Amino acid sequence: MIEVINLTKKYGDLVAVNDLSFKVEKGTIWGLLGPNAAGKTTTMRILTGYLAATDGKATVSGYDVFEQPNKAKKITGYLPENVPLYPEMTVLSYLDFVCEIKQIPGSKRKEALEKAIEISGLKTVRGRLIKNISRGFKQRVGVAQALIHEPQILILDEPTIGLDPAQIIEIRQLIKSLKGEHTIMLSTHILAEVTQTCDGVVIINEGQLMASGSLEDLTASFIEKDGVVIRIRSETEKAMTLFKEIPGVENVTRRDDEINIEWSQGKDFKDEITRLIVEKGLGLIEMKPLAMNIEDLYLKVISGGVKQ
């Protein structure tokens, strides 16, 4: 479990993190979202003990990161945005060094090393110098480094940045497979990543908490209307007037070739609309429930939406 209470960090006059509080439940994956310079990296650096906070409190699995730094660091794995690698070392000697400074006892070291190499898919490059391996492998060495001591808490700062789409999917699956045993917090710019891997999000902007909660709760709280989005083959304008005439439908709007039809919550006009489309021969291509996607949610929250 990760808990942050009234955390504040100032760099001189600049307030990077302002009175931030949130909580990540044990065994879940949470995303830390926000525009550039929102304070994501600073928050993570405080959680891992790299920076000291100006004010407030942060605990990982009950250990205060300021009061009991060594205990907290022992159970935390951290992948910084710039993967901390020594280019002149081989993958194996690097991970061996990490084992030593993470204080994995000598008897368990080999096992931990093999397991980390196995999980992160580094078998083929284990003997190579880090400076000679590709960006994707470097990222994986970073992941291996973060989880080699089987930490309860994993903090990943933009784990998929700079990877190709196939590698992104691999890293994502890797992160998902770690869920349960580890409590994971990751920061990202890619919103799709959040819907695919995370159980909840913390959205911050200019160091302040804008919203936090599970994905379902958050989207539900932002949706005011029910409705459908449809796409038809032709005569979009004509169709729109038709839909407007249905009693109870409150709003019909068009976005490119999609028509949004909204009505107040509790009602349902899906059958009616379907019947109309078939009767008039409009040629239905697609019909989906009107749901707020993560992009809309994010933009709404960042632009000063409801504070939760």
| 98 contact partners, CB below 8 Å, separation of at least 6 | 145, 148
- Partners of 282 in the beta sheet? none
Figure out which of the listed residues 5, 37, 55, 82 binds another protein, where binding follows CB under 8 A: 82
CA 287 to chain centre: 28
Number of residues interacting with another protein: please give it, by CB under 8 A. Answer: 30
Figure out which of the listed residues 25, 55, 103, 264 binds another protein, where binding follows CB under 8 A: 103
Tell me the CB-side half-sphere exposure of residue 276, using CA atoms within 13 A.
16
Stretch that binds another protein, among 17-25, 46-54, 266-274, 276-284 (CB under 8 A): 46-54
Stretch that binds another protein, among 24-32, 49-57, 189-197, 221-229 (CB under 8 A): 49-57
Residue type, 139: Q
Letter string b/e over residues 51-87, b meaning 16 or more CB atoms within 10 A of that residue's CB: bebeebebbbbebebeeeeeebbebbbbbbeebebee
54: phi then psi, degrees, rounded to nearest 5:
-75, -35
Q: Which is nearer to another protein, 14 or 166 (CB)?
A: 14
- Please report whether residue 52 would count as binding another protein according to CB under 8 A: yes
- Please report whether residue 110 would count as binding another protein according to CB under 8 A: no
- Please report whether residue 70 would count as binding another protein according to CB under 8 A: yes
**What's the rounded Cα separation, in Å, for the pair 81 and 161?**
8
- Please report whether residue 89 would count as binding another protein according to CB under 8 A: yes
Shortest reach from residue 49's CB to another protein, in Å: 6
- Please report whether residue 222 would count as binding another protein according to CB under 8 A: no
Pick out residues in 135-174 that bind another protein (CB under 8 A).
Answer: 145
CA 102 to chain centre: 26
Shortest reach from residue 111's CB to another protein, in Å: 18
Contact 228, 287 (CB under 8 A): yes
Contacts to another protein by CB under 8 A:
11, 45, 48-52, 70-71, 73-74, 76, 78, 80, 82-89, 93, 97-98, 100-103, 145
